[in-house]
Structure 1
Amino acid sequence: MAVSGAGMARAIRLGVNQLGWQRLAIAGLLLALAMIVALRSWHLPLLSDAESALYDIRAANFAPATDTDKRVTLVVYTADTNRKTGQISPVDRTILAQALTNIETMGAKAVGIDVLFDSPQNDDPLLQSTLKGMKTPVFLAFADNRTNPEAITYEQEQDLRGFIAASRTSVVGPASILLETDADNVARRWPRQYAGLPPLLSVAMTAGGPDAAPAFARYTGPIRYRVPTGSDRPVFDKIPIDLLADPETAPLVIDAIKGRYVLIGGDFSDFDQFDTPFTRTGNPITGETRMIGVEVHASMLAQLLDKALPTRVPAWALWLGALAAIVLGAATAAARARTWQLAIAVVVQLAFALAFPFLLERAGFDTLGFPAMGWMVGWLMAYVAVGSALRAINAAQREFAQGALGKYLPRSVASEIMKNPDRLSLHGEKREIFCLFSDLEGFTKLTHAVEPEMIARLLNDYLDRLSGVVLEYGGTLDKFVGDAVVAFWGAPIAYPDDGARAVKAARAMYLAGEEFRKAAPAGVPKIGRTRVGVHYGEAIVGNFGGEGRIQYTALGDAMNTAARLESANKSLDTTVLVSREAAERSGLDWFRPMGRVSLRGRATPVEVFEPVPDADPEQRKLVVQAQAAHDSGDADQVRVLTDRIVELAHDDDALVNLAQRLRQTHKGESYVLG
């Protein structure tokens, strides 16, 4: 465990270094904000609107269906009532007094009046007299300017208080009709019980009796709205007040009053209408989108009568859920998975976050305030925070890795491998490749004649020049062995023109070596030529240093042959030698034959060629003819042609050397190198 802990600590330190403190701070801040969002989304702009919309959908879809509630009846003023009485605002109080007189004889449990008597009227004495004679409990609407300034002015409040004081008895008193809406003007929750206000209407009507539910005096959770079982069976019976006020028609509705709680209010299309969770989608049975205030009070009263307090989700559970959302978002961003697997994980997690509150709502939990959108947005923020941090780390790692790969691979190849790492085999595989081996003539002697610091400068300059050539021509740098450069083409990625690029690189390396010789500082002994060998054949290519460290190299006879060809340059007075296998696959016409040689450690002779792109055509022709004469065993012709070759060679030591070897060997023989 200690080892793994230390390893984890190192990984964390490395990640911090690669990410940088600034990005780390931003990621940490995003995660902290994600946690806040996941917990407080109901109190944040935009998100609160989304949360409200989701809650409304939940509440509307899982609203309990009910037959007509036989415990509560609505008695309402209507537009027809106003036309008959000739009064609109305030409503006629004489008809109310008549209705109360009839209700008194019908045995109602209690009466709640959702009408504010906040302006004196001529018929007030009649109504007040009726109220004082009531034996049935009656609760008069009360509101104050402090808690409900939009509903009542200070002057109106004084008139209201005066009316209530003049009407008050042991069974007649005030009740708060306050209804609070959220920021989007939707009545979703029970109002708060403010100090100085009488009890809420539904609480007051049931207080002291068998239906009392003290818990609702402090309750501020969701109002339980219900839907009817059919369009012809409303949740509450609704009776026009003029029907109840008429002594002739009142007996017809006695069954709707006896033993029930009666709520009296207005049913007008342009007044005292509230948006509810049904507003967005419409009541699934009636299609109605708004609800009159007295029906909202009736819904609260019915909820109280049913003692329907939804189960609160504990605060610790909300914290745990928010934390889980953040952790899952971060873990998903950090997961190493295929795209389709990641897509499934994302969809499943977000779908769960969306569906879970619906399941809670259906199970009877209070989801008003449940941060469903907060969890999803928090999850997304955590996903973005960690994903961005990891991308920054990966980018740094990729940049470092690509830079490291670029030390021995062409940038195009390194970039392709970074996109598709599978193309870089970390295990040995057989590949046919073009192998190159170079060497600087006389370097060992030079190390004994020059100070170590100068040797280091010279060697670094030389290797930089030659490795640059290899990469320029798309080769893979295998290794440096002292002053020798080992490279190959055809792995890790093979291209059709690998042969041409390998031969061109060999020639360019020789020329780069010549430039290096000319640029040597004063006082440095003469530097020898660069010799290069190129061969094509089978090799084992891959990582031979273990998984923990990329040691990409090539092994096998092909590499050894390239090294022998490089060494053969010394005996043949050439600078670049290319085997027939490599020359034929290069697609170039630069070559002049340099004969057949037997290399140490190789049983089969190798035909070698020298790439000389600017060779004299006549020289090249003579060399080809001389080689053909040698192959046919025509010694006389060989002698004639080689004399001519020497004559035209001038200072071309390689041609003179070839002529001598052709004379010294016979048909079918190869020149054995010492």
Structure 2
Amino acid sequence: MAIKRYQALVLWKGGRCMQIRLGQVIAVLTALAVLFMYRGTLDSVDFFFQDKFMQHESTTDNRVVIVGIDDESIQNVGKWPWNRSVHAQLIDMLAQGCPAVIAFDVTFPVPSDDPEDDMELIDAMKRAGNVVMSRYGTFEASAKQGTLEALELSEPFPELKAAAAGLGHINTIPDEDQVVRKSLHTFNYKGQLIESFSWGIYKMFKKHIGQQVNPKELPLDGFNRYHIPYAGGPGQFEAVPYSSVINGDVPPDYFRDRIVLVGPYTVGLKDDYPTPLDYKTKMYGVEIHANIIQALLERNFKQELDWKWNAAILVFTASAVYYLFRKTHPGISFIVLVAMIAGLIFGGKYLYGKGVIISMGYLISFLIISYIVVIGFNYMKELLERRRVTDIFGRYVAPQVVSQILESGEEGLRLGGTRRELTVLFVDIRGFTPLSEQAEPEEIVEILNEYLDLTATCIFRYDGTLDKFIGDATMAIFNAPLLLEDHPMKAVQAAWAMKEGAVALEKKLMERFGRSVKFGIGIHTGPAVFGNIGSKTRMDYTAIGDTVNTAARLESNSKPGQIILSETVYETVKERITAVPLGEIKVKGKEQGIRIYELEGLT
């Protein structure tokens, strides 16, 4: 039985045959992936791959230096927060070195208890003329895309605000995993556009060197954010302790023409966040500003590819998956999968270097899931094919024979016309025609089914193959399609089991109709051809040849309840049976007679 392989699962439901093709499965999977991409369902996975393979440390810009409010400074200066006069002293010390910008990542929303200290800070800022102060807004828990609107704005107290050369917000909007990947460029507050702290510093630095800025070059997303390409991880940017500057340990000239960021540089001040470079070791807020400023200085902008283009890449990937995975061995498919993932990673990193961010996470996840689905689909296809073969071929052979066929595959079958020595058994019901004249058609069918079920059960029990039912007769072959040791004895055992099993049926019919029926059985061993015999449109799995004809002639010569063996069968099994020689008979189609024996029992 040749099995043609289709790329489809065939299911039966409500009596209808439904084919689920691999292409349809991949199409549904692609549609779901595109939907998830549009809705951002798997953004966390996408972030992971972007962080892992796109973000990497590089050389930090020495034009940016951090003056850190660190543990050493707190130990030397005193408990935080410090007196405003200390900050005034820092600004004066820095101003002597003529830095390009002095920026405080520290807020002063209200005056202190000592107005004189506040005035010292205000005057120092005025003298320096390049101090940028920070502020931050408060937003709703959820916001729609577009320019965000702040509910409240915390900024330096009025006199200090007036003395500042620039102001910028220090708000950040982490992603759902709390990792800071983007910088919020602007938001609105009561009709006023509030620019970011980093952008304000960048503008002032550009002004210091006599250049202009163009905010339109920023690749902003739906929330006015842009990607941060981190150059330095925690501790990578040059940093000096706050106390070392005010004590004179670091000379003012050290800061000439540089951007000086002043901010918390200790865990105790709780201004640290996880970043793509390191989820566990958090980065101080002032370091994040340093990374943003470096990206602005280097014009290192990354544009996220629109989801439609990502979807187009995904559809192309789906087509490749279908053509590469559907007929390939799982081992080779796995190698192809690894190669495609490596290609996506390399391509993603290359494009990232060119300023384009693709949804690598969605594409790689789709590849992995598609591979698993294809493997599962092929497994289910094979499983259903096995069930189909079991269901169809199991009507002809014993279940264990079906299992061997499925395990051996086409090599074990070798169908299409194979010559082999077979043992053929024919069994017919004697007395069935007179009985059918007395019983109703429905009863006849019931009786016939019981007898045929008995013959089939006995054939299967001894590993035979049920070839066909011919009216009230049954034909069985042994030693096909799979090789069967001692097949003549198996056929004899099956015949004797039929005779013994028929006793109960005979008694039942005698009680019901007053008439009994018996089996007549003929068995012969010899060469025959078995396989798919017929036309292209209609074929049967059967055996043909003189051996088959001889077995049929022996059955037709048997009396009710008699089992006739040919001499060939008898010589093979005579040591294990009790049989009576019946002499030689002449059968139709043969010139020479055949010596036959009647089976009387098994020893």
Same fold (TM over 0.5): yes
Distance 1:448 1:331 in 2: 64
Give the partner amino acid of 1:175.
G
The SS at the match of 2:194 is: coil
- What is the one-letter code of the residue matched to 1:195? N
How much has 1:372 moved relative to structure 2?
A: 4.3
Counterpart residue number, 1:428: 417
Output the CA distance in 2 between the equivalents of 1:97 and 1:19: 85
* In structure 2, C-alpha distance between the alignment counterparts of 1:97 and 1:345, rounded to whole Å: 67
d(CA) in 1 for partners of 2:423 and 2:105?
97
Counterpart AA for 1:472: R
Residue of structure 2 equivalent to 1:39: 37
TM-aligned CA deviation for residue 213 of structure 1 = 3.9
Residue aligning to 1:278: 277
Q: How far apart, in 1, do the equivalents of 2:504 and 2:111 lie? A: 113
Distance 1:563 1:93, change over 3 A: same
Amino acid at match of 1:220: R
Equivalences for residues 394-543 of structure 1 within 5 A: 398-422=386-410, 423-441=412-430, 459-510=448-499, 519-520=508-509, 529-543=518-532
What SS class does the counterpart of residue 479 from structure 1 fall into? Answer: strand
Per-residue displacement from partner, 1:444-494 (whole Å, max 9, x unpaired)?
Answer: 787789887776555444433333332333321112233332111111123
The residue aligned with 2:167 is 174
Q: Give the one of 549, 570, 589 matched to 1:583.
A: 570
CA contact 1:576–1:611 (8 Å) conserved in 2? yes
Count residues with an aligned counterpart.
Answer: 572
Q: Which amino acid aligns with 1:199?
A: E
Select the residue among 118, 121, 125 that pairs with 1:124. Answer: 118
Native 8 Å contact 1:179 1:191 kept in 2: yes
2:188 partner SS: coil
1:358-412 CA deviation, whole Å, 9 max, x = no partner?
5413432699986545445545555666776776676566445423322221122
The question of whether the paired residues in 2 share the 8 Å contact of 1:140 and 1:175 is answered with yes
Indicate the SS of the match to 1:404. Answer: helix
Per-residue deviation, 1:608: 2.0
Q: Which residue among 144, 162, 171 is the counterpart of 2:158?
A: 162
Counterpart for residue 292 of structure 1 = 284
Q: Which residue of 2 aligns with 1:189?
A: 182
Q: State whether structure 2 residue 53 is matched by structure 1 residue 58.
A: yes
Higher strand residue share: 2
In the TM superposition, residue 190 of structure 1 has moved relative to its aligned partner by 1.4
Aligned residue for 2:265? Answer: 267
Displacement after TM superposition at 1:577 (Å): 1.3
Q: Please, which runs of 5 or more residues in structure 1 have no aligned partner?
A: 1-7, 149-153, 282-288, 616-674
Counterparts of 1:548 and 1:489, CA distance in 2: 27
CA contact (8 A) 1:96 1:245 kept: no
Distance (whole Å) between structure 2 residues aligned to residue 391 and residue 273 of structure 1: 50
**Are residues 1:569 and 2:558 paired?**
yes
The one-letter amino acid paired with 2:184 is P
Q: CA deviation at 1:507?
A: 3.0
Higher CA-based Rg: 1
1:294-331 Cα offsets, whole Å, 9 max, x none, are 22111101101111112422312322344456677778
- CA distance in 2: counterparts of 1:223 and 1:550, whole angstroms: 71
CA drift of 1:609 comes to: 1.7
1:112 has 2:103 as partner: yes
Question: Is this contact kept in 2: 1:42–1:369, CA < 8 A?
Answer: no
Structure 2 equivalent of residue 96 of structure 1: 87
Could you tell me whether the CA contact under 8 Å between 1:538 and 1:558 is conserved in 2? yes
User: What amino acid maps onto 2:89 in structure 1?
Assistant: Q
In the alignment, the residues of structure 2 paired with residue 487 and residue 351 of structure 1 have an alpha-carbon distance, to the nearest angstrom, of: 54
Partner of residue 221, structure 1: 226
CA deviation string 1:230-272 (max 9, x = no partner): x9xx9644344445446x666x452x43333232223224332
The CA deviation at 1:535 is 1.1
Distance 1:574 1:112 in 2: 111
Secondary structure of the residue that 1:535 maps to in structure 2? strand
Amino acid at match of 2:262: I
Task: Give 1:431 shift.
Answer: 1.5
CA offset at residue 105 of structure 1? 4.6
Q: Which amino acid aligns with 1:189?
A: K
Q: RMSD value over aligned CA atoms?
A: 4.6
**Alpha-carbon shift at residue 439 of structure 1 (Å):** 3.1
Cα distance, 1:217–1:99 mapped onto 2, change above 3 Å: farther
| Alignment partner, residue 558 of structure 1 | 547
Query: What is the letter of the counterpart of residue 465 of structure 2?
Result: T
Q: Normalising by the residue count of structure 1, what TM-score does the alignment of the two structures yield?
A: 0.71
Matched, 1:212 2:213: yes
Question: Distance in 2 between the 1:494 and 1:432 partners?
Answer: 10
Pick which of 393-402 and 199-208 moved more: 393-402
Is the 8 Å Cα contact of residues 38 and 378 (structure 1) preserved in structure 2? no
Matched, 1:144 2:131: no
Aligned sequence identity (%): 24
- AA paired with 2:126? K
Deviations 1:576-602 (CA, angstroms, capped at 9, x unpaired): 211222123335222222234444433
One-letter amino acid of the structure 2 residue matched with residue 505 of structure 1: A
Equivalent-residue separation in structure 1 for 2:87 and 2:196 (angstroms): 22
